[in-house]
Amino acid sequence: MVKPKVESETKDARFKRIASARTSRILDDLRLLGNCANTSHYGYTENEVGKIFTAIEKELKRTKSLFSTQLTEFSLE
């Protein structure tokens, strides 16, 4: 459960609180998605699986790039 916002909370503390909760939720959801691999209960094609992981990998790459501090600047030198 996410703790309520504290007025004197620092940016660093807020990041750790929110990022930890969101990361835990994502990991839990990925574990649940893994349950869909049980062919006793679900039917799927390799194409469907490919689409799922392509979408996940694409969003992961986009999100990871948001945390990049590298600025690309143009230079002729």
Please list the rounded mean pLDDT of every run of 10 residues in the chain (77 residues): 74 96 98 98 98 98 88 75
Residue 75, pLDDT score: 76
Cα separation, 11 vs 7, in Å, equals 11
Who's near 44: CB < 8 A, 6+ residues apart?
Answer: 36
Residue 21, pLDDT score: 97
Q: Kindly report the number of other CB atoms within 10 A of residue 1's CB atom.
A: 4
Cα separation, 13 vs 11, in Å, equals 6
Residue 4, pLDDT score: 65
Q: State pTM to two decimals.
A: 0.76
Residue 38, pLDDT score: 98
Residue 77, pLDDT score: 76
Residue 6, pLDDT score: 66
